[in-house]
Homo-oligomer: A and B are copies of this chain.
Amino acid sequence: MSLEDLGDKGRRAKSQRATEKPRVDAKPTLKTIAELTGLAVTTVSHALADAPQIALETRQRVRKVAADIGYLPDRAAQRLRTGRTNVISLVLDPHEEILGYATSMINGLTEALRGTAYHLVITPHFSDTPQIDPVRHIMRNRMADGIVFTRTEPADERVKLLMENNFPFICHGRTELATAHPYVDYDNYSFAYQAAKKLIAAGARRLSIILPPERFTFAHHLRHGFMTAVREEGVGFEIAKGVTLDSKSDDIRDYLFRRMAEPERPDGYICGGEVSALAVMASVYDHQLELGQDIRLVAKQTSGLFDQIRPRVETIYEDLTEAGLLMGKLLLKRIAGPAPIAELQALQTV
């Protein structure tokens, strides 16, 4: 702020038509457009909102000027006045996984938000606090207009809370609650079912499925699909539970190493995640067995990783980017106006 500016400001107070152009870089506001067009700030606001009571000619003129000077509405002011934040919160659990589960989903979400006024904010959920905390915080303090989260549980507290308060959200995976809620999910039942059928068709006679922790709903879906298939075919089976998602734990590696040394070992594995598939492969290698010969494997593929891995593994693809995109779109629709719940459901089929 220089003395000249002050002087100029003083002049403006008396004669409103002073040819002022001191600051070129000043961020354009509605006031800027108002001065340039000779209209009132209110009119400009309405014109940009495409209000029908503003003359079409005026609307076009205002829009042109706005575009010319590169006007963008101030998010803070809009947010303060309207209460809408134009923010979508993605609740992420850091340290959860070594592979890019989150990255794919973020890519899908940003794609869905592209061209809209919405920004994507990453809200971390720190493992030393209850899972519900970040969600409650976002809701209570209106930190976002909508929430995205993952790893849905059968009786997910977050879903309950958000539904009770009618707060827009979408989650990856389903609950088993009576009340319907918006979600995007992959058909893990079919995945496990088809994976089992493939293994059996290839000659496997004792199947093992490596399941994520029971607290996630999709673990149940995997199990049911698996069980249906092995019962239909009447083959032997076993279930390895509790792959911690961060794969720091050695439970599964211990199980695999032990079982593969035994004579009655499984000859067909189903892995619901890439990490556990790698663990199976590692164990096969360590036992000097041959994949596809001694032991078969069907894995869920959620990235390009398995295109690079040798020996080649049979996989079934789950497109997490697409899931993110879909979640973003459905959430935006939900925010725009409470669409019927049923329409908000979506299922990716294998």
Contact = CB atoms under 8 A, between A and B. Distances in A.
A303 B99 CA distance: 8
A72 B309 contact: no
B247 A165 contact: no
Contacts of A111: 94, 124
A282 interface: yes
A76 B106 CA distance: 25
Interface string A93-120: 0110111111100110011001000011
A305 B98 contact: yes
Contacts of A85: 76
Contact of A278 (B75, B286, B308): B308
A3 interface: no
Interface in A185-219: none
A239 B122 CA distance: 39
Count of this chain's copies in the oligomeric assembly: 2
Interface string A134-165: 00000011110000000000000000000011
Given A99-B99, A122-B106, A164 B285 contact: no
What bracket does the count of chain A residues touching chain B fall in?
Answer: 35 or more
A140 B25 contact: yes
B72 A141 contact: yes
Contacts of A110: 92, 94, 122, 124
Contact of A80 (B77, B95, B102, B123): B77
B311 A285 contact: yes
A106 to B, nearest CB: 6
Contacts of A120: 121-122
A338 to B, nearest CB: 16
A304 interface: yes
7 contacts: A27-B141, A92-B110, A100-B100, A103-B103, A106-B122, A119-B123, A248-B304
Of all A-B residue pairs in the complex, the 8 with the closest CB atoms, nearest first, are A100-B100, A98-B304, A285-B310, A76-B79, A278-B308, A110-B124, A94-B107, A76-B80
Given A114-B124, A278-B308, 16 more contacts: A27-B141, A74-B80, A75-B76, A75-B143, A77-B80, A80-B80, A94-B110, A95-B107, A98-B100, A98-B304, A99-B99, A99-B100, A100-B100, A102-B103, A247-B308, A279-B308
